[in-house]
Amino acid sequence: MSIWWSLHLRREAASVPLARRLLIGTMETAGVDPDISYDLSVALSEACANAVEHGGDTGRGPGSEAYRVTAYLDGEKCRIEVADAGPGFPAASAGRPRPPVRPAHSDAENGRGLCLIEELADHVRIGNKSGRGGAVVSFDKILKWRSGAPLIAV
Protein backbone atom coordinates (compact mmCIF):
# COMPACT_ATOMS: atom_id res chain seq x y z
CA MET A 1 0.00 0.00 0.00
CA SER A 2 1.33 3.41 -0.98
CA ILE A 3 -0.09 6.83 -0.20
CA TRP A 4 1.42 10.10 -1.34
CA TRP A 5 0.36 13.71 -1.49
CA SER A 6 1.93 17.01 -2.37
CA LEU A 7 1.00 20.54 -1.30
CA HIS A 8 2.00 23.86 -2.80
CA LEU A 9 1.77 26.32 0.11
CA ARG A 10 2.21 30.05 0.54
CA ARG A 11 5.10 31.08 2.78
CA GLU A 12 2.80 32.08 5.64
CA ALA A 13 2.83 30.87 9.22
CA ALA A 14 -0.74 29.53 8.84
CA SER A 15 0.49 26.97 6.30
CA VAL A 16 2.59 25.09 8.87
CA PRO A 17 -0.29 23.66 10.96
CA LEU A 18 -2.20 22.87 7.74
CA ALA A 19 0.62 20.62 6.50
CA ARG A 20 1.00 19.07 9.96
CA ARG A 21 -2.72 18.27 10.27
CA LEU A 22 -2.82 16.69 6.82
CA LEU A 23 0.14 14.45 7.71
CA ILE A 24 -1.35 13.44 11.06
CA GLY A 25 -4.73 12.73 9.46
CA THR A 26 -3.15 10.61 6.73
CA MET A 27 -1.13 8.60 9.22
CA GLU A 28 -4.05 8.16 11.59
CA THR A 29 -6.26 6.92 8.76
CA ALA A 30 -3.57 4.51 7.58
CA GLY A 31 -3.07 3.15 11.10
CA VAL A 32 0.44 4.41 11.86
CA ASP A 33 1.49 4.28 15.51
CA PRO A 34 0.68 7.66 17.15
CA ASP A 35 4.22 8.12 18.53
CA ILE A 36 5.69 7.79 15.02
CA SER A 37 3.04 10.16 13.65
CA TYR A 38 3.88 12.70 16.34
CA ASP A 39 7.64 12.55 15.66
CA LEU A 40 7.11 13.03 11.94
CA SER A 41 4.61 15.84 12.46
CA VAL A 42 7.08 17.77 14.65
CA ALA A 43 9.86 17.26 12.08
CA LEU A 44 7.52 18.42 9.30
CA SER A 45 6.53 21.50 11.31
CA GLU A 46 10.20 22.42 11.74
CA ALA A 47 10.97 21.98 8.04
CA CYS A 48 7.91 24.03 7.05
CA ALA A 49 8.76 26.78 9.56
CA ASN A 50 12.24 27.00 8.03
CA ALA A 51 10.75 27.29 4.52
CA VAL A 52 8.38 30.02 5.69
CA GLU A 53 11.16 31.98 7.42
CA HIS A 54 14.09 31.47 5.03
CA GLY A 55 12.64 30.10 1.79
CA GLY A 56 11.93 33.12 -0.36
CA ASP A 57 13.60 35.75 -2.42
CA THR A 58 11.46 38.69 -3.43
CA GLY A 59 13.77 39.32 -6.38
CA ARG A 60 12.72 36.01 -7.93
CA GLY A 61 9.07 36.92 -8.30
CA PRO A 62 5.84 35.38 -6.97
CA GLY A 63 7.09 31.76 -7.19
CA SER A 64 9.46 32.43 -4.30
CA GLU A 65 6.51 33.14 -2.04
CA ALA A 66 5.55 29.45 -1.98
CA TYR A 67 7.06 26.15 -0.92
CA ARG A 68 6.20 22.50 -1.56
CA VAL A 69 5.60 19.64 0.86
CA THR A 70 5.45 16.05 -0.39
CA ALA A 71 4.80 13.00 1.79
CA TYR A 72 5.12 9.35 0.77
CA LEU A 73 3.93 6.44 2.89
CA ASP A 74 5.28 3.44 1.06
CA GLY A 75 5.41 0.03 2.68
CA GLU A 76 7.19 0.33 5.99
CA LYS A 77 8.64 3.82 5.44
CA CYS A 78 7.48 7.42 5.32
CA ARG A 79 9.48 10.00 3.37
CA ILE A 80 8.76 13.71 3.64
CA GLU A 81 10.29 16.43 1.48
CA VAL A 82 10.02 20.20 1.94
CA ALA A 83 11.41 22.35 -0.90
CA ASP A 84 11.48 26.13 -1.14
CA ALA A 85 12.65 28.80 -3.59
CA GLY A 86 15.00 30.64 -1.25
CA PRO A 87 18.75 31.11 -1.45
CA GLY A 88 19.45 27.57 -0.25
CA PHE A 89 22.32 26.52 1.99
CA PRO A 90 25.44 28.63 1.33
CA ALA A 91 28.11 25.94 1.80
CA ALA A 92 26.33 23.54 -0.53
CA SER A 93 25.86 26.17 -3.24
CA ALA A 94 29.60 26.83 -3.38
CA GLY A 95 30.22 23.22 -4.47
CA ARG A 96 31.28 22.13 -1.00
CA PRO A 97 29.39 19.68 1.19
CA ARG A 98 27.06 21.18 3.73
CA PRO A 99 28.65 21.45 7.19
CA PRO A 100 27.10 19.21 9.85
CA VAL A 101 24.14 20.58 11.77
CA ARG A 102 25.27 21.90 15.13
CA PRO A 103 22.98 22.12 18.15
CA ALA A 104 21.86 25.61 19.12
CA HIS A 105 22.83 27.12 22.45
CA SER A 106 20.31 26.35 25.19
CA ASP A 107 19.22 29.99 25.40
CA ALA A 108 18.97 30.53 21.62
CA GLU A 109 15.56 31.40 20.19
CA ASN A 110 16.37 30.02 16.72
CA GLY A 111 18.51 27.29 15.21
CA ARG A 112 16.95 24.12 16.60
CA GLY A 113 14.84 23.02 13.62
CA LEU A 114 17.36 20.98 11.63
CA CYS A 115 18.72 19.38 14.82
CA LEU A 116 15.20 18.33 15.82
CA ILE A 117 14.56 16.86 12.38
CA GLU A 118 17.78 14.85 12.61
CA GLU A 119 16.80 13.57 16.07
CA LEU A 120 13.25 12.59 15.10
CA ALA A 121 13.89 10.97 11.69
CA ASP A 122 15.89 7.90 10.74
CA HIS A 123 17.60 9.40 7.69
CA VAL A 124 17.89 13.09 6.75
CA ARG A 125 19.10 14.75 3.55
CA ILE A 126 19.62 18.52 3.50
CA GLY A 127 20.76 20.34 0.38
CA ASN A 128 19.94 22.65 -2.48
CA LYS A 129 17.67 22.14 -5.48
CA SER A 130 19.49 21.91 -8.76
CA GLY A 131 18.78 24.51 -11.40
CA ARG A 132 16.45 27.19 -10.06
CA GLY A 133 17.85 27.23 -6.53
CA GLY A 134 16.23 26.79 -3.18
CA ALA A 135 16.66 24.40 -0.27
CA VAL A 136 15.38 20.83 0.06
CA VAL A 137 15.00 19.04 3.38
CA SER A 138 14.03 15.38 3.05
CA PHE A 139 13.68 12.84 5.84
CA ASP A 140 12.57 9.21 6.30
CA LYS A 141 11.27 7.20 9.20
CA ILE A 142 10.48 3.52 9.51
CA LEU A 143 6.80 3.13 10.35
CA LYS A 144 5.23 1.17 13.18
CA TRP A 145 1.57 0.26 12.92
CA ARG A 146 -1.31 0.14 15.38
CA SER A 147 -2.84 -3.25 15.98
CA GLY A 148 -5.47 -3.89 13.31
CA ALA A 149 -4.35 -0.93 11.18
CA PRO A 150 -6.58 -0.66 8.08
CA LEU A 151 -3.82 0.09 5.57
CA ILE A 152 -0.93 -1.86 7.10
CA ALA A 153 1.81 -2.85 4.68
CA VAL A 154 2.12 -6.57 4.03
* Span 92-104, average pLDDT: 52
Q: Of all residues in the chain, what percent are helix, strand and coil, respectively (each to 5)?
A: 35, 25, 35
Query: For residue 61, is it within any domain?
Result: yes
125 domain-assigned: yes
Is the model more confident about 128 or about 90? 128
How many whole angstroms separate alpha carbon 83 and alpha carbon 78?
A: 17
Q: Does residue 32 surpass a pLDDT of 50? A: yes
Return d(Cα 80, Cα 82) in angstroms, integer: 7
CATH number at residue 69: 3.30.565.10
pLDDT at 90: 73
Domain boundaries, position 118: 3-142
Domain-embedded: residue 107 = yes
Per-residue pLDDT tens digits for 78-89: 999 999 998 888
**Is the pLDDT confidence value at 107 over 80?**
no
| Assigned domain for 153 exists | no
E strands present in 12-105: 66-74, 77-84
In this prediction, residue 154 has a pLDDT band, given cuts at 50, 70 and 90, of low
For residue 54, give every residue at least 6 positions away whose Cβ sits within 8 Å of its Cβ, in sequence order, or none: 84, 86, 87, 135
pLDDT score of 93: 46
Mean pLDDT of 66-80: 95
The dihedral formed by the CA atoms of 15, 84, 122 and 16, expressed in degrees to the nearest 10: -10
Determine phi and psi for 84, rounding to 5 degrees: -125, 180
Q: What is the pTM of this model?
A: 0.83
The number of domains in the chain is: 1
Helices 113-120, 34-54: axis angle to 10 degrees equals 150
Q: Is residue 128 part of a domain?
A: yes
Per DSSP, 87 falls in state -
pLDDT band, very low/low/confident/very high, at 100 (cuts 50, 70, 90): low
